[in-house]
Structure 1
Amino acid sequence: MRRAWRYLQWGLLAVLAASLLACDKTSSPDASQDAAAPDASWPVFRILAGSELKDMVPLLQQFGQQNKVNIQLEYSGTLDAVDQLQEQPDRYDAVWVSHGKYMQLIPEARQLIAQSEKTMYSRVVLGVKPEVAAKLGWKSGQVGWRDVIAASEQGKFRFAMSNPTSSNTGFVALVGLATELSGKADALQVSDVPSEQLKALFKGQSLASGSSGLLAEKLAATPAAADGMVNYESVIKGMAARGVPLQVLLPKEGVITADYPLMLLKSSKQATTYKALLTWLRSAETQKQIAATTQRTPLTGGDDGDVVVNELPFPGSRAVVDAILRGYLDSYSRPVSTFILFDQSGSMSRDDRIGTARKALLTLVQDDNTVTGRFATLREREQLFLLPFSHVIDPMLSFEMVKDPDANRVIMQQFAYNVDYLQAGGGTAIYDTLLKAYPEALKLAKSGERNVAIILLTDGENADGSEFSDFQQKLQQWGGGKVPVYPILFGESDEGEMSQLASLTGGQTFDARKTPLSKVFKKIRANQ
């Protein structure tokens, strides 16, 4: 009875969280949210939308009621939207993301767009704790990105920024800054990318995440983890309500502004609804409501309309953009250490679960031509630890990527060979395994030189050895610092306990019963 009540509690919390939290989630039917009354007789207008647009749902409900149309949003990251659109172009009527710059660089995606119109603005800016800004002598419009780079390299400034391969804020900040520092504007070539300056900047990155919303949550939960944050201006302004007031700084070189184009797809049969929605969104009254409820800037400008802010240039070549993103993973950012705890208990033989799990692991070393897949493979300098377990724990296998591509191919072949030989059998000792891996991961994390994470892949409840309470007790004893644990749920996983584990360590649960396991791995990689 107690366990049943616990499941009910966690189920209610999960429903509440899905309604309230603004964090990026892979687009899926479960991630969709009706923006109109659920009247089955109304036509559905389905939009592939940026996850931060959840705050627009109340306004879209107004439009839906007035026009008797059911607006449905399915949420996706900016780069992931390109993959979603190419995989299921007929599923959506429109795309609504923060900007269309990257999409316009991909012919296969660009040719799917019939019409595109901007709807509102939100600048990607630097937010800094007031006391830190005062200490460094930084003022909006006077501080430059080169000042930020110098302070980061000298250890005087630590900042939070989302992963640019998954989240728009990190994406436009990195790409725009690289272009500005090169001095080449949109004529930037791969050879012009200012790698050394970018390496210096990211010495100061102390907090990362897979989305702008989750980044804000992490900083609110651990304010001491960073002195500032790169994010949407609307998010920066909202941090005071979370207990972490940040001062908006507009670097003198400029910013990149998200203009949220609403893009009609050629495959849509609802061009009339698109035009009506676009007209309504751009109307003076709706623009006023957008400014009041989301802190985004209306198309006519905001309160600081007299302040002239330069727009950072954006490269005109996809190859250049991809090179910058790959450089972030392989060179500029802090290297990654990943511990994978792999459940190979007897239940993994059901429905070939172990085969599905092996295939998901192999995506780390196999070519993937999707936009997000190309950035989810193993990175240069990455350490990977594979710890298979049942009721007993196998020896931990370690793999470390280097700078040499030929050597890395051999390392990836060795990893694939070991994954292919994982076999199901035995019980399930989740916490014995975690107690073995966590101290090693914590030691690496405390060095301050690596981003460390633990991925727990299990299809059942803990049945052998230590329990969750034992891990809680040990975590308190170890003290100082945490390593996020990302439990992947499938089969009969104990969802409530895994959610507790993720919350305790600063991680996040992912449900592979609703989302393909390969996509779950991509999502976790985006958080590293």
Structure 2
Amino acid sequence: MNALVTRRRWLAVLLALGCALGGAVALSACGDGGPAASESEGEVAGEGSDPDPAVDVSGTTLRVLAGSEVQDMQPILDDAEEELGITVELTYAGTLDGTEAVMAGDADCDATWFPSNAYMSLFDQKAALVSQETSIMRTPVVLGVRAERAAELGWDDKSPTWAEVVDAAASGAFSYGMSSPVSSNSGFSALVELATALSGTGAAITADDVTAVAADLSRFAQGQKLTSGSSGWLMEAYDKDSSAVDGVFNYESLVLQDPGLVEVIPQDGVITADYPLTLFAGRGEKVEAAYRALVDYLRRDDVQRRIADETFRRTDATTADDAVAAFEIPFPNRLETVRALLSSWVSDVRKPANMVFQIDTSGSMEGERLDALKAALVSLTDTGADGTTSLLTFQPRETVHFVEFGSEIKSEKDLEVAADGDLSDVRAYVEGLRTAGNTAIYGTLQRSLELAAQSRSDDNVTSVVLFSDGENTDYPGIAEFSSWYEATPEVQGIPVYAILFGEASRAEMEQLTQLTGGRVFDAENGDLTAAFKEIRGYL
């Protein structure tokens, strides 16, 4: 066992991973094939699915749509590729939106590797469209609390109930970070854990239960001080300033890697990610054989040991010594319940976002670039979008400040989203954007941060989104801005999220986001709409 794990209290959850996490589904249109009659359809790899020795898999590419959480598996996959002679081509998406992309036929892949297939299992296409699935590793979503705070709360010796966590958050005794339930499986799982425990039914929650627990969810949301669109970035933000919050809701495998955190498993239970590698039907003989070869490799005893040691996840090599039993909370069994829970969280429960969008409409944005920018911003007003995409639009109670700039600030517009969700004013403003001038990024950013600071409070989540297609052309530059920032405490702690597009300087954007606690979103491929929607998970 890795030395860090042996130094810590290794809390193992004995989990019943039955119907809640066992299902999987895929869409026939994912890739270029559809469901085809096959002996392996519906089969779980590892049960009579030994690779056919007659099939040569060398040179075969397995295209996998995966959760970003499995990026830490790349060294192991590199070794698998070398040994097996295959290529594992990973592209990344959030569990919910990735699942929905597959269901809509918008994902070009042979397989998925999300933290869980629980959401997939709610779609009717499941039985016909999945060929094989195999759990590779496991990790529950838990609470990591700073050691000194855990001792003060008494949670280091006795795990609290979820209701006690809510009380601590509502009273100000406990602050936390959590990733967006819309964008991240860990945040979504934590929300399901909480709502199910608070319902008190001992069963999977229903849409009626969501309504019943809404008030307590709002009390819980009062304690959130740090948000993120991904589990990994949440830990990066916490590590950068661990004093900002008392703890984080995240995967156990990430919590265990921070020696300053105590793992806390609420008494009411948890939800476990079991990382099922899932093959779609009709992929062809060579792809199916490559999938089975990869599964066999990852399930091999020595590789299971390596996964446990390197990623801190549970595998078949994990021992049950000092195990602490915990109840496995059931996943919702209806799609309408999941959507009701997410809609309630985004629209009514969580702290509303207070956003400043700094928008470059300099002369270089003329033509296709301006059209792409307008389309991306208008997509955030599309309340009629399908599935979780509709939850990435601007929501009731949120405030949007637009700062349009070129050589100087051209216009400012403050818009508060009404209770009815009417976003016509946002669309009208966006459609009126026109190009002219140079690119005064940092002088405008000073104004954007000042605006954000004026409206920042404990009751909202404040941030700045910077979009520019070029390098700064006017005074001040990044050096002068950095000096101003360090000397202006009232704007510190407001993250700046920068979109990398066109000729924007990656080095400067990374320097800027490192300074302000934000991050860079890459739209160099030209897909601004995807970049803006990804950012919404952080706001």
Q: What whole-Å deviation, never above 9, does each CA across 1:458-497 have from its counterpart, x for those lacking one?
A: 1122223432223212212212532111222222222222
2:243 counterpart SS class: helix
CA shift digits 1:303-331 (9 cap, x unpaired): 44743211012111111111111222122
Instruction: Say yes or no: does 1:426 pair with 2:426.
Output: no
What is the TM-score of this pair, normalised by structure 2? 0.84
1:204 matched to 2:204: no
Measured in 2, the distance between the counterparts of 1:370 and 1:267 equals: 27
Is the alpha carbon distance of 1:110 and 1:354 closer, same or farther for their aligned partners in structure 2, counting shifts above 3 Å? farther
- Aligned residue in 2 for 1:282: 299
Q: How far 1:72 sits from its partner (Å)?
A: 2.0
Aligned letter for 1:428? T
SS across alignment from 1:415 = helix
* Alpha-carbon distance between aligned partners in 2 of 1:314 and 1:44, rounded to the nearest angstrom: 33
Q: Which moved more, 1:430-439 or 1:154-163?
A: 430-439
| 2:527 paired with 1:512 | no
| TM-aligned CA distance change 1:113 to 1:376, over 3 Å | same
Shift of 1:56: 1.5
Does 1:214 pair with 2:225? Answer: no
Aligned to 1:261: 276
The structural deviation recorded for 1:261 is: 0.8
Task: Name segments (4+ residues, structure 1) moved above 6 Å.
Answer: none
SS of 1:381's equivalent? coil
Query: What pairs up with 1:344-493 in 2 under 5 angstroms?
Result: 344-349=361-366, 351-367=367-383, 369-403=385-419, 405=420, 408-409=421-422, 412-445=423-456, 447-479=457-489, 481-493=492-504
1:166 aligned to which of 170, 183, 190: 183
Alpha carbons of 1:268 and 1:326: their partners in 2 closer, same or farther (altered >3 Å)? same
2:258 counterpart SS class:
helix
Q: Which residue of 2 aligns with 1:326?
A: 343
Matching of residue 247 in structure 1 with residue 262 in structure 2: yes
Return the alpha-carbon distance in structure 2 between the equivalents of residues 464 and 154 of structure 1: 47
Give the conservation status (yes or no) of the 8 Å contact 1:82–1:371.
no
Q: Does 1:151 align with 2:168?
A: yes
Amino acid at match of 2:147: P
Structure 1 stretch 267-276 or stretch 209-218: which is displaced more? 267-276
What is the distance in 1 between the residues matched to 2:401 and 2:410?
12
Contact 1:120–1:298 under 8 Å retained in 2: yes
Cα deviations by residue, 1:354-383 (Å, 9 ceiling, x for unpaired) = 111111110111135344421210111100
CA–CA distance in structure 2, aligned partners of residues 353 and 286 of structure 1? 47
Matched AA of 1:380: P
* CA distance, structure 2, for counterparts of residue 321 and residue 223 of structure 1: 32
Q: State the distance in 2 between where 1:215 and 1:383 align.
A: 23
In 1, Cα distance between equivalents of 2:157 and 2:326: 11
| Cα shift at 1:87 | 5.5
**Percent of matched pairs sharing the same residue:** 36
Deviation of 1:398 (Å): 0.7
Q: Which amino acid in structure 2 is aligned with residue 377 of structure 1?
A: T
Q: How many Å separate the matches in 2 of 1:62 and 1:512?
A: 31
User: 1:198 and 1:435 mapped to 2: Cα distance?
Assistant: 36
From 507, 510, 516, the equivalent of 1:499 is 510
Deviating more after overlay: 159-168 vs 430-439: 430-439
The answer on whether the counterparts of 2:195 and 2:205 sit within 8 Å (CA) in structure 1 is no
> Match of 1:238?
257
In structure 2, the residue matched to 1:64 is 81
- Distance 1:302-1:527 versus aligned 2 partners, 3 A rule: farther
RCO higher in 1 or 2 (8 Å CA, sep ≥ 6)?
Answer: 2
Contact 1:155-1:204 at 8 Å conserved across structures: yes
2-structure distance, mates of 1:377, 1:92 = 27
Give the residue type in structure 2 aligned to 1:126. L
Letter of the 2:251 counterpart: Y
Aligned AA (1:353): R
Q: Does 1:91 align with 2:102?
A: no
Contact 1:456/1:486 (8 A) holds in 2: yes
Unaligned runs of 5+ in 2: 1-56
Listed as ranges, the matches of 1:331-342 within 5 Å are: 331-342=348-359
Partner Cα separation in structure 2 for residue 122 and residue 348 of structure 1: 45
CA distance in structure 2 between the aligned counterparts of 1:148 and 1:415, rounded to whole angstroms = 38
Counterpart secondary structure, 2:409: coil
- Paired residue secondary structure (2:346): helix
Cα distance between partner residues in 2 of 1:280 and 1:265: 19
Deviation string for 1:202-254 (max 9, x for gaps)? Answer: 111111111110000000001111111111111011012xxxx1111111111
Shift of 1:113: 2.1
AA partner of residue 375 (structure 1)? L
Amino acid at match of 1:236: V
Q: Which ranges in structure 1 are unaligned for 5 or more consecutive residues?
A: 1-39
* Structure-2 separation of matches of 1:515 and 1:258: 33
Q: Secondary structure at the match of 2:410?
A: coil
CA separation of 1:154 and 1:359: change in aligned 2, threshold 3 A: same
